[in-house]
Amino acid sequence: MSTSLMYHTHGIKGFQHKSYRYEADKVIQRIERKEFFCEECGSYNITRQSPHILLIQGIPTLKKKLFFEIEGHLIYYKDCKGRKTESLTFLPNPKSRITTSLERSIVELRPHVSIKAIAEFFDLNWRLVRDC
């Protein structure tokens, strides 16, 4: 998925495509943030710490689930003297592991389809679907 397509289908901006990995029923797209800076003051004077892998589920393609694989970090903002987990603006909340676009699709389906059916279709926990 091109950078442009990621933006228009999932609202992901500021990231670039790195690679695809295919597993039985899923496509995993590795993406990387293009640049790191403080969202409050705009400074690039930061240090990335504690790298960890995040798998974010997006809207599936016809037959395969789609995941975005991202290396997340704890960011130390040297000029602001602050430390926080980097923000991913395409998530409905910081702890979510589905894109806002997938959440929106679930919300649009909810009046027409049972929570169980939606959960099975997207292969999600029904509680997550219920709470969308």
Residues within the interface to Zn ion (CB under 5 A): 38, 40-41, 43, 77, 80
As beta bridge partners, residue 49 has: 74
Q: Smallest distance, Å, CB 32 to Zn ion?
A: 22
Minimum CB distance to Zn ion smaller for 32 or for 40: 40
Could you give the CA distance from residue 97 to residue 92 in angstroms, rounded to a whole number?
9
Nearest residue to Zn ion by CB is: 38
Minimum CB distance to Zn ion smaller for 84 or for 116: 84
Q: Which residue, among 87, 71, 84, 90, has the nearest Cα to 6 in the 3D structure?
A: 90
Q: Smallest distance, Å, CB 4 to Zn ion?
A: 29
Could you list the beta-strand ranges (E) of 26-95: 26-33, 46-57, 65-77, 82-85
Q: Smallest distance, Å, CB 74 to Zn ion?
A: 15
Q: Smallest distance, Å, CB 85 to Zn ion?
A: 15
Half-sphere exposure of 9 (CA within 13 A, CB side): 13
Minimum CB distance to Zn ion smaller for 35 or for 53: 35
Contact status, residue 9 vs residue 59, Cβ threshold 8 Å: yes
Minimum CB distance to Zn ion smaller for 85 or for 114: 85
